Chains A and B, each alone.
Chain A
Amino acid sequence: MTSPGIVVDGVRRAFGDVKAVRNVTLRAQSGRVTGLVGPNGSGKTTLLLMLASLLAPDAGEIRIDGIDPVADPHAARALIGWMPDALGAWGSLTSRETLIVTARLYGMPRPDAAARADALLAEVGLVDLSGAPARVLSRGQKQRLGLARALVHDPRVLLLDEPASGLDPQARIDLRVLLRRLAGEGRTVLVSSHILAELEEVVDDAVFLVAGETVHQDRLDASARRSRAWRIRLAATDAADAAPQVAAALRLTPEFVGVDRRDVVVSFDSDATAAAALGELVGAGLPVAEFAAAQGALERAFLDLGAADVPQPPGAASALADDPAAAPDAASDHVSDHTGADETEATS
């Protein structure tokens, strides 16, 4: 079931003096959704262009379901569904015509192409707009059309560049469900995104790209061992008032307890420490309403890799947990031992 649908080994690509991709090695398994995470200019789009058989790497190997897109682009293209970060739509064509033309370019007979277009329009929720020219579509609607276009020929490998940008919340949920289903059908799905919280809910694996290089697993493991921030909110208590109570319960000096808006922020060096601390807070009789990692695992890793200029919350030393689900699980286990705590989990 998990054979690599995408294999990239030591791929490099420069544009003149600009080394867009320096050294990328990754595996994306079939039947799984792999997230491609990295800041602007880290080479995500360039990498996807090489995977989509549009750009030749300067060095390194790419295999799409075992096929080299540089040596045999024709065979690779039959397998690849590529969705660019911005849909270049034929402005005067309707959504339905756009899909039919694309299907025809994949060699589909006309009746099949029309049927496929109608099915995809229903899939991405554009049936009402199937007769509208693409130029009147909103950004989110264009994204959905772009996704439908990438799916026209039932590809085995999906390369999606920022598919969620511009989508409304409902469309994002639909996209998530669709991506899970496509992976469930045994396809390889590679998704790049900036919206890390969004990505977190759909990906099985994540690949980090910083300055054109994939981040080595050792570095991710190392950063996972660093302390990171947790948000604590006490029921019906202002954060300023809650901070001393939390500090007292955890026997911490006040400077280790920060305040961010309505939350108290405390750093713990591991999930186990955090779980123990929750026990102490509840044991001290504090009305803990929320106790959760301040950031999603992807976001923590992303920021920890020093890749982004995103301002970090106070005390946030972030890392990617080996298992993103570990922290919430530990917390709930802990809570189940201490009745009376009204705990809900929330990710920022």
Chain B
Amino acid sequence: MSGQRLGTIVHLELTQRTRSVAWYVLLSVFAVLLIIVTALSFAAWGYAEASGSGVFSTIVYITLLLIVLVSPTLSGNAINGDREAATLAPVQVTLATTGEILLGKFFAAWITGLAFVAVSVPFLLLATLAGGSEPATVIVSLLVLVIEVGVIAAIGVGLSGILARPLFSVATTYLVVAALVIGTLIAFALVGFTLRSEAVSHYRSYDYENYQGDTFPCMPGEVPAGDYPCDDDVEITCGEWQTSVYEVPRFDRVWWMLAANPFVILADATPTTFNEDGYPVDLFGQIKTGVRGAQLPPELEQQWDDCAPYQAQDYPTPEEIVAQTTPSWFVGLGLQLLLATGLLWWAWVRTKTPARRLPPGTRIA
């Protein structure tokens, strides 16, 4: 591995990208989108005391979304596109090794994706200046964003070395990225609803029909007050216990399916700030609460008794949910890194020269 040759390949890739007008048009469109999103975010998060953290998280998510949408086209034809343009073989005959070529293209694709992050920096600064953002949240979320851009770049470069046709490998990159982003969500929902459990609910109501008096009886645990003159002396009769059986989805058995989702990793890995009521102050925390909440098993035995003194149901706050559930981002990120390195390694095997096997229908030069 030579730093000079690696650097030359990265430089070559980036030079070609930066000399195309389309590239700047794309970045400008991205900037315009971010202007709109930032303005709308400030409006949407206006209810919060310090809206900055909410706006910040929204911009990071929009950036990730746009990179997910654009990045496969930037990396998905790195190797086979060059082969079609007959510019791969002239590099392969030089002293540049297959590893240097692949890594060079991967770094170039990564840096290209990071250009979108760079465009979002002014908007992120604006959000940070609006207040409320914790330094740890800012640093970790940006770090995860940078890594996710790299993972998508590696998937694209890897597939472009494995598949022969650029169009096909770009499409496959989109499918793989979509499998992570949307596929995990679909699998989570479908399998979660398939794995159902029987839940039983017992209910006993106060028997109004047999009550003859004129006053309004006090319910168990209630005492009459000036604005609530219930009759404390009436003895209430209770109805029969009724039992209903129904099915509940078991998301607590499939929550791990979301672990490899880039958006979930971003939320799960980023430290969350909660307000005094235990609610998250940004989008990262809200998504994290939703995902972590899926880990909690549903109540399979419930009892509602009108005749018993009312007991306030103790629902956990988001802060409590997050505290009592397991983080999964490192598992998801690990799987993604495994996928990315696996694809790059496969591409290395396929691109190695002198080539023994060629993909059908391709020429080496």
A binds B: yes
For residue A306, CB closer than 8 A to chain B, the reply is: no
Interface residues of A in 117-143 (CB under 8 A from B): 133
Q: Are A49 and B364 in contact (CB under 8 A)?
A: yes
Q: Are B365 and A54 in contact (CB under 8 A)?
A: yes
Q: Are B19 and A56 in contact (CB under 8 A)?
A: no
Interface residues of A in 51-81 (CB under 8 A from B): 52-56, 69-70, 73-74, 77-78, 80
Residues of B within 8 A of A90 (CB): 12, 16, 87
For residue A326, CB closer than 8 A to chain B, the reply is: no
Q: Are A56 and B356 in contact (CB under 8 A)?
A: yes
User: Which residue of the partner chain, among A73, A88, A97, contacts B85 with CB atoms under 8 Å?
Assistant: A88
For residue A268, CB closer than 8 A to chain B, the reply is: no
Per-position contact with B for A78-109: 1 when CB-CB < 8 Å, else 0? Answer: 10101010111111110001000110111100
User: Which residue of the partner chain, among A56, A84, A92, contacts B20 with CB atoms under 8 Å?
Assistant: A92
Categorize the interface residue count of chain A: 35 or more
Q: Are A88 and B15 in contact (CB under 8 A)?
A: no
Q: Closest chain A residue to B91 by CB distance?
A: A105
Q: Closest chain A residue to B358 by CB distance?
A: A15
Per-position contact with A for B323-360: 1 when CB-CB < 8 Å, else 0? Answer: 00000000000000000000000000000011110101
For residue B88, CB closer than 8 A to chain A, the reply is: yes
Residues of B within 8 A of A52 (CB): 89, 93
Q: Are A92 and B89 in contact (CB under 8 A)?
A: no
Q: Are B86 and A105 in contact (CB under 8 A)?
A: no
Q: Are B12 and A101 in contact (CB under 8 A)?
A: yes
Task: State whether A88 and B90 are in contact (beta carbons under 8 Å apart), knowing that A101-B12, A105-B95, A105-B96 are contacts in the complex.
Answer: yes
Q: Are B9 and A105 in contact (CB under 8 A)?
A: yes
Q: Are A92 and B16 in contact (CB under 8 A)?
A: yes
Q: Closest chain A residue to B365 by CB distance?
A: A84
Give the distance in Å from the alpha carbon of A96 to the alpha carbon of B356 in the complex.
34
Per-position contact with A for B70-102: 1 when CB-CB < 8 Å, else 0? Answer: 000000000000100111111111111100000
Q: Are B364 and A105 in contact (CB under 8 A)?
A: no
Residues of A within 8 A of B4 (CB): 104, 107
For residue A32, CB closer than 8 A to chain B, the reply is: no
Q: Are A55 and B364 in contact (CB under 8 A)?
A: yes
Give the distance in Å from the alpha carbon of A77 to the alpha carbon of B354 in the complex.
11
Residues of A within 8 A of B20 (CB): 92
For residue B2, CB closer than 8 A to chain A, the reply is: yes
Residues of A within 8 A of B204 (CB): none
Give the distance in Å from the alpha carbon of A101 to the alpha carbon of B9 in the complex.
8
User: Which residue of the partner chain, among A53, A78, A86, A153, contacts B353 with CB atoms under 8 Å?
Assistant: A53
Residues of B within 8 A of A50 (CB): 354
Residues of B within 8 A of A73 (CB): 353-354
Most chain A CB within 10 A, of B9, B16, B94, is at B94
In the assembled complex, how far is the CB of residue B25 from the closest CB belonging to chain A, in whole angstroms? 16
Residues of A within 8 A of B90 (CB): 82, 84, 87-88, 102, 149
For residue B205, CB closer than 8 A to chain A, the reply is: no
Give the distance in Å from the alpha carbon of A153 to the alpha carbon of B87 in the complex.
18
In the assembled complex, how far is the CB of residue B112 from the closest CB belonging to chain A, in whole angstroms? 15
User: Which residue of the partner chain, among B85, B87, B94, contacts A105 with CB atoms under 8 Å?
Assistant: B94
User: Which residue of the partner chain, among A49, A74, A93, A133, contacts B365 with CB atoms under 8 Å?
Assistant: A49
Per-position contact with A for B125-155: 1 when CB-CB < 8 Å, else 0? Answer: 0000000000000000000000000000000
In the assembled complex, how far is the CB of residue B364 from the closest CB belonging to chain A, in whole angstroms? 5
For residue A111, CB closer than 8 A to chain B, the reply is: no
Q: Closest chain A residue to B5 by CB distance?
A: A105
For residue B286, CB closer than 8 A to chain A, the reply is: no
Give the distance in Å from the alpha carbon of A49 to the alpha carbon of B83 in the complex.
14
Residues of B within 8 A of A106 (CB): 94-95
Q: Are B355 and A78 in contact (CB under 8 A)?
A: no
Q: Are A86 and B354 in contact (CB under 8 A)?
A: no
Q: Are B5 and A104 in contact (CB under 8 A)?
A: yes
Give the distance in Å from the alpha carbon of A80 to the alpha carbon of B360 in the complex.
27
Task: State whether A74 and B97 are in contact (beta carbons under 8 Å apart), knowing that A49-B364, A105-B9 are contacts in the complex.
Answer: yes
Task: State whether A105 and B353 are in contact (beta carbons under 8 Å apart), knowing that A15-B358, A88-B85, A92-B15 are contacts in the complex.
Answer: no
Q: Are A53 and B87 in contact (CB under 8 A)?
A: no
For residue B201, CB closer than 8 A to chain A, the reply is: no
Q: Are A56 and B354 in contact (CB under 8 A)?
A: yes
Q: Closest chain B residue to A152 by CB distance?
A: B94
Q: Are A104 and B8 in contact (CB under 8 A)?
A: yes
For residue A169, CB closer than 8 A to chain B, the reply is: no
Task: State whether A77 and B88 are in contact (beta carbons under 8 Å apart), knowing that A15-B358, A54-B353, A56-B355 are contacts in the complex.
Answer: no
Give the distance in Å from the alpha carbon of A70 to the alpha carbon of B356 in the complex.
10
Instruction: Taking A55-B353, A69-B354, A88-B82 as given, write out 4 further A-B residue pairs in contact, using a Cβ cutoff of 8 Å, ordered by the A residue number.
Output: A53-B353, A70-B354, A88-B88, A90-B12
A sample of 14 inter-chain contacts (CB < 8 A) reads A53-B353, A55-B364, A77-B94, A77-B95, A84-B365, A88-B86, A88-B89, A90-B12, A90-B16, A101-B12, A102-B94, A105-B95, A105-B96, A106-B94
Q: A residues touching B (Cβ–Cβ < 8 Å)?
A: 15-16, 49-50, 52-56, 69-70, 73-74, 77-78, 80, 82, 84, 86-93, 97, 101-102, 104-107, 133, 149, 153
Please give me the 10 A-B residue pairs with the lowest Cβ-Cβ distance, nearest first: A88-B86, A56-B354, A105-B94, A88-B87, A92-B19, A104-B8, A56-B356, A105-B96, A82-B93, A54-B353
